[in-house]
Each structure stands twice: as C-alpha cells, then as structure tokens.
C-alpha cells in the first residue's frame, strides 16, 4: 500500500507562512495540547466543580468564570480537525482503522497509543506546550527553551525508538 | 503594523473565528504531508523517511526569516509578539517524555487530531490518553509546582544566550537547515524505501538552498535587532489612540534589547 503525500519541503514552506500569518494577526503562534487540557478541565468542572476550582492548575483555565473552552487554542484545534478532515476527504484517505506496523496486534497498539497519549499529555503540560505550541512556535521566535525542548523531543524519541520497533516496522 | 490583534484591529470574538481559519489551514497541510499516519510520522525515528524533520525545520526557518524581514520592513512589532518563556528543567524533562510519548503513541498532539478525523481509532485513543495525562498533571501539580517553575531564565532568546544578533542566528539556522536536509537525504537513500520518498529535481533544490542562504546572509548583514527599536516610536503613533481606549495588556512587559517581550497570556 503506497500513499502519495505532498512534498515535505513545500508543506514546510506553507506551514511556515501559516505560522507567520498567525504571528502577524494574533501576535502568537500555533498550538494544540492546551486545548485538550481545557477540554479535560471542562469535563472535571462538570463532574466536580468544587474540586476543579480548588486545584491550582485547573483553576488557571477557569479564571473569570468563563468556560475553559472559550479559548483561542480550542478554536484552532477545532479548525485543525476540519482542515484535516477536508484534506483526507479530497484524497480518499478517510478509513476506519487502527494504524500500526504489520507485526503488532490491534489491542497492543491501542494500549500503546493510550500510554503514549498519557505521557504526551503530561509532558506537554510540564513543558508548557507541545510540538506545535512550544517547539515550532518558540523556535520560530528563537526562544532558547523551545530549541532545547525540541532537541529533547528528538533525543527522547531516538533513545527509546528501539523498544517500539515491533510497533511500527 | 502587526500583530493586528494587539493594535486593536479586531476583537476577541473575531480572533476566535480567525483561530478556526488558521487551524483549518494547519490541519489541512498536516494531512497533506501525511501526518495523519503514524507510520509516516515514526519513520523519522527509524531513519526511513525524514518528512517530519523537513517539515518542522522548513517551517521554522521560513517563519524566522519572515518575522525578521517583517520587523525590518516595519510591518510587525516583535515587542508585541508573545515570547515563550524559558523554564529550562521542565522543558528538558518535558521534551524527553514527549519524545517517548511520540514514538510510543505514534503521534504528537496536533497530528493525533488529524489522524482521528481521518478515521484512525488509535488517534482517538491517543487523544483520550492526552486528556488523562493532563488531568493527572493537574492532580499532582501541587507536588510538581517547584519543579514546574524551576530553571526560570525569563523570556530569553538564542540571541541573549550566544550574545549575537538575530540576523546572524537566522543565517546560522539557514546554514544548519541546508546541511541537515543534505544529510537526512543521504540517510534516507540508505535506509528508506526509494519508491515512497519524494522526488525532486536536484537543480530546484540547489536553487532553493542558495536562496535560503542568501536571505539569511542579507539578514546577518542588516542586523534586524538594530532596526527594531527606532522606527517603532514614530510608526506606532497613529495606533496609540486605539491603545489608550483598549488598555493593552502590557503589564508584564520586560525591556529586552533584542525586541521580543512577553506581552500577555500563556503560550500553548
């Protein structure tokens, strides 16, 4: 099964221009991980509002009594979902599946996806952003910590890639 | 003069619509690149396909050049662009853990969204995992707060760390980018599947690389940091009135010789 995707350099240039557009209009870059923290906060706030307000971290998203979902990044992520859907639709790439290498089962892959998600969600909060909000955005501004963060992502991944080879190869 | 929002060109409600539009383009190009497919994404870690590195690095270089040229032309006030602060220890640990999460889960946060909408169940599970991870972080936050705020270096840039102007940094980044492209393509040729790798004419690549280095070199000569402060005073004037009404959020502004300052809100 061969898939033809766009040339990565061309995509890189376009993504750079989108990021520049975001800086020019809003004075800030892209991001997405915080929107999941916000959605999770909204969930906790719905179930246990007292608990959410008492928590030092959740409460930063609940300031001013506004819904944690009325945030710039949440709308950006919604837009990204629609944009991705549109792109997948026009090239017939919408297909219900569990993406994985040929030598791994569905349930193991799903557990690993869950574990990877938990680690990533935790790490993105710790580092104040993810690959887009911290690494991409910050590196474009030449922020020192963002460059270090980006190098650490690659370091962490390359260091452990051997243990997950059965998942992908 | 940009950033338009900080000069009161539009309100919060409109900014949310703009977020939807920017997000749409963001998600669209990620899917075009094949980043809704975790095997394509993780191929970078198995030295087979460096699309991830090419896309990220190219986007960064283009945006660095764009921001600095915009600043030189007086189109954007970099002092009003939110600069991510450096908390070096949590960023190092966060980066390492996110890297592990990336190769284990197959996605990073934004690409998992693109994967989910193209029908991948593992993408959805990854998103659920991210929410669990975020809630877990918030629950243990009281214990982690000391570490979370450790290594606070303020909103510093590579220019402050190496004490050279951002034009020279941009030029160096261009050089590193071209070198990295050349290197990873060599590696791809060795380990990758030649049928699926993008084909491009060597001539176009050479011209693009030359252009990149030229644009960086011009910036290094121009020294954008020097030109940031001066025109700002006269050019901001017309918008000053708007600011007075809008009461801009400049409370945490820190003077910084290189132009960038924190203006408001949290980054990601």
Nearest CB to B130 within list A36, A76, A109: A36
pLDDT surpassing 50 at residue B256: no
- For residue B193, the model assigns a pLDDT of 83
Distances from the Cα of B74 to the Cα of A14, A56, B234, angstroms: 23, 41, 11
- For residue A142, the model assigns a pLDDT of 95
| pLDDT, averaged across chain B | 86
- For residue B192, the model assigns a pLDDT of 87
Could you read off the pLDDT of A79-109 as tens digits, one per residue? Answer: 999 999 999 999 999 999 999 999 999 999 9
Q: What is the pTM of this model?
A: 0.89
**Mean pLDDT, rounded, for B229-239:** 46
Q: Which of A56, A139, A42, A43 is nearest to B176 (CA)?
A: A139
Residue B256's φ and ψ, nearest 5 degrees, are -145, 125
Contacts of A166 in chain B (CB under 8 A): none
Of the ranges B27-31, B74-78, B160-164, B232-236, which one carries the lowest mean pLDDT score?
A: B232-236
pLDDT surpassing 70 at residue B242: no
| B residues 154-193 lying closer than 8 A (beta carbon) to A | 155-161, 166, 169, 181
Could you read off the pLDDT of B79-97 as tens digits, one per residue? Answer: 899 999 999 999 999 999 9
Helices (H), chain A: 8-26, 33-47, 49-54, 58-61, 72-90, 106-126, 137-140, 144-160, 165-168
Chain A contact probe: residue of B88, B130, B184, B264 with most A CBs at under 10 A: B130
- Is B248 an interface residue toward A (CB < 8 Å)? no
- For residue B227, the model assigns a pLDDT of 56
Portion of chain B with pLDDT greater than 90, in percent: 73
Could you read off the pLDDT of B202-233 as tens digits, one per residue? Answer: 899 999 999 999 999 999 998 888 755 544 44
Chain A residue nearest residue B37, CA to CA? A99
Q: Which of A159, A152, A154 is nearest to B89 (CA)?
A: A152
| Number of Cβ pairs < 8 A linking chain A and chain B | 560
What is the domain partition of chain A in residue ranges? Answer: 97-169
Burial of A93 (0-12, 13-18, 19+ CB in 10 A): middle
The tokens describing B53, both together, are: 């590195």
**Nearest chain A Cα distance for residue B252, angstroms:** 15
- For residue B233, the model assigns a pLDDT of 44
| Cα gap B102→B85, rounded to integer Å | 23
Which residues does chain A have with pLDDT short of 70?
A: 1-3
| Inter-chain residue contact A8 with B33, CB threshold 8 Å | yes
pLDDT surpassing 80 at residue B109: yes
pLDDT surpassing 80 at residue B16: yes
**Strand, helix or coil for residue B31:** helix
Length of chain A: 169
Distances from the Cα of B111 to the Cα of A84, B93, B105, B147, angstroms: 9, 21, 11, 28
**Nearest chain B Cα distance for residue A101, angstroms:** 7
Contacts of B154 in chain A (CB under 8 A): none
- For residue A2, the model assigns a pLDDT of 54
Q: Which of B121, B97, B98 is nearest to B108 (CA)?
A: B98
Residue B261's φ and ψ, nearest 5 degrees, are -140, 160
pLDDT surpassing 80 at residue B249: no
- Is B17 an interface residue toward A (CB < 8 Å)? yes
- For residue A87, the model assigns a pLDDT of 96
Of the two residues B261 and A128, the one the predictor is more confident about is A128
Nearest CB to B105 within list A95, A113, A149: A113
The tokens describing A126, both together, are: 């710790």
**Nearest chain A Cα distance for residue B74, angstroms:** 12
- For residue B253, the model assigns a pLDDT of 42
Contacts of B144 in chain A (CB under 8 A): 126
- For residue A168, the model assigns a pLDDT of 92
| Inter-chain residue contact A3 with B38, CB threshold 8 Å | no
Burial of A84 (0-12, 13-18, 19+ CB in 10 A): buried
| Cα gap B144→B196, rounded to integer Å | 44
Helix (H) or strand (E) holding B78: none
């Amino acid at each position: 099964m061969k898939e033809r995707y766009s040339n990565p350099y061309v995509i890189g240039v376009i993504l750079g221009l989108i990021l520049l557009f975001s800086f020019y209009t809003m004075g800030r870059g892209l991001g997405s991980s915080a929107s999941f923290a916000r959605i999770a906060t909204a969930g906790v706030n719905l179930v246990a509002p007292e608990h959410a307000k008492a928590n030092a971290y959740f409460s930063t998203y609940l300031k001013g009594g506004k819904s944690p979902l009325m945030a710039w990044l949440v709308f950006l992520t919604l837009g990204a979902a629609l944009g991705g859907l549109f792109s997948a639709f026009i090239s017939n790439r919408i297909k219900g599946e569990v993406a994985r290498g040929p030598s791994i089962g569905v349930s193991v892959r799903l557990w690993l996806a869950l574990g990877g998600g938990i680690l990533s969600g935790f790490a993105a909060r710790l580092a104040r952003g993810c690959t887009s909000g911290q690494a991409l955005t910050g590196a474009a501004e030449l922020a020192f910590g963002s460059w270090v963060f980006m190098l650490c992502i690659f370091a962490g991944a390359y260091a452990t890639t051997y243990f997950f080879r059965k998942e992908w190869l | 003069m940009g950033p338009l929002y900080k000069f009161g060109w539009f309100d919060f409600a409109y900014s949310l619509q703009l977020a939807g539009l920017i997000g749409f383009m963001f998600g669209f190009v990620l899917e075009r690149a094949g980043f809704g497919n975790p095997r394509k994404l993780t191929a970078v870690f198995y030295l087979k396909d460096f699309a991830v590195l090419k896309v990220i690095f190219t986007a960064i270089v283009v945006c660095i050049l764009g921001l600095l040229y915009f600043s030189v032309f007086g189109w954007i006030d970099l002092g009003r662009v939110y600069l991510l602060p450096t908390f070096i220890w949590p960023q190092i640990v966060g980066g390492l853990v996110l890297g592990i999460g990336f190769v284990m889960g197959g996605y990073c946060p934004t690409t998992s969204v693109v994967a989910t909408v193209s029908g991948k169940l593992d993408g959805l599970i990854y998103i659920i995992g991210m929410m669990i991870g975020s809630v877990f972080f918030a629950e243990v936050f009281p214990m982690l707060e000391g570490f979370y705020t450790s290594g606070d270096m303020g909103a510093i840039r590579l220019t402050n760390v190496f004490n050279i102007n951002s034009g020279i940094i941009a030029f160096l980044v261009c050089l590193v980018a071209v070198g990295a492209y050349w290197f990873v393509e060599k590696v791809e040729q060795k380990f990758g599947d030649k049928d699926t790798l993008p084909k491009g004419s060597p001539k176009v690549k050479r011209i693009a690389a030359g252009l990149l280095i030229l644009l960086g070199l011009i910036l290094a000569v121009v020294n954008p940091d020097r030109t940031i402060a001066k025109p700002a005073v006269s050019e901001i004037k017309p918008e000053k009135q708007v600011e007075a009404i809008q009461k801009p959020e400049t409370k945490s502004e820190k003077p910084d010789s290189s132009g960038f300052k924190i203006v408001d809100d949290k980054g990601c």
